[in-house]
Amino acid sequence: MVHHKNTACKLPLLVVEGTGCSLLGCNWFDRLGIELHGIHQTTEEGSLTELLQQHEDIFREDATGHTGAPVNLELKEGASPKFLKARPVPFAMRASTEAQIDKYVEDGIWEPVQHSDWATPLVWVLKKDGSLRACGDYRCTVNEAAKKASYSLPTTEEVFSTLKGGRVFSTLDLAQAYTQLHVTPATAQILTVNTTNGLYKVPCLLSWTAKAERRRLRLHPGHWVLPNVTMHNLTVKVSL
């Protein structure tokens, strides 16, 4: 018999082996007249909030980040610059593309220039959320002239072999990860894009400028530049 305030009734009780906390099911709530009201406010775990406050410079949303040597794009011997005209943009998309270009400039990802020996046309991609993303079509310009290099990433089997003992899994989404890496002035000119608004050099990497090198960028041996990282640890505290 279960008693709660002025209510008493017979309710099922399931006893299991283990050290976990007791759970009160909805079938008890209804019979005992217990009501749950809406949650009006949620707070992050204190340790996570403190961590974010202690490392504000790491979790900033601007394009400043890596302070090491800038990335340099090496060209093949005898490679000649290619200058291609901007591709037309449908009138219905003009306002959106111009707004996105202005945002790139404001964030320091693009810089307007008057002249350039190199110019790559853009392809505008419509994202799931309705916003637009600019992608440089380097297949017809830089890719043909850049030296090809590659670095091996671990295989799936090798990654799975490291998961033993993991209990807490978390994903670190490095939004705009490539923009944290700046390029040399010469590389910024090579990566110049041609838009309906004019020419813009690219002083930092974007996902599609990284692919122009046809390689996985790394800062130094053993440290890769990947936009999404999945981590595992024994406890939440260690993960933080």
- Residue 187: what pLDDT? 92
- Residue 52: what pLDDT? 74
Q: How many CA atoms lie within 13 A of 120 on its CB side?
A: 26
Q: 120-123 — which CB contacts under 8 Å span 24+ positions?
A: 120/82, 120/84, 120/191, 120/192, 120/193, 120/194, 121/84, 121/85, 121/86, 121/87, 121/193, 121/194, 122/86, 122/87, 122/193, 122/194, 122/195, 123/87
Give alpha helix (H) positions in 34-180. Answer: 46-54, 94-106, 142-145, 156-161
Amino acid, single-letter form, for residue 100: Q
Distance of CA 196 to CAs 39, 90, 139, 224, Å? Answer: 49, 11, 20, 35
| Residues comprising the chain, all counted | 240
User: Strand 193-195 and strand 198-201: pairing?
Assistant: antiparallel
Query: Residue for token digits 């040399």?
Result: 184
Query: Residue for token digits 């406050």?
Result: 53
- Residue 154: what pLDDT? 72
pLDDT in tens, 162-211: 777 777 777 766 666 677 778 899 999 999 999 999 999 999 877 666 55
- Residue 215: what pLDDT? 42
* Residue 140 region by backbone torsions, left for phi larger than 0, else alpha for psi between -120 and 50, else beta: alpha
Closest CA to 118 of 79, 157, 151, 155: 79
Q: Which domains does the chain have, with CATH numbers?
A: 46-239 (3.10.10.10)
Query: Residue for token digits 């302070």?
Result: 67
Cβ neighbours around 110 below 10 Å, total: 25
Whole-angstrom distance, CA of residue 87 vs CA of residue 140? 13
Torsion sign over Cα 3, 6, 12, 13 = negative
Q: Which residues of the chain have pLDDT under 70?
A: 37-47, 58-67, 149-153, 172-177, 207-240
**What is the H or E stretch that residue 136 is in?**
strand 132-136
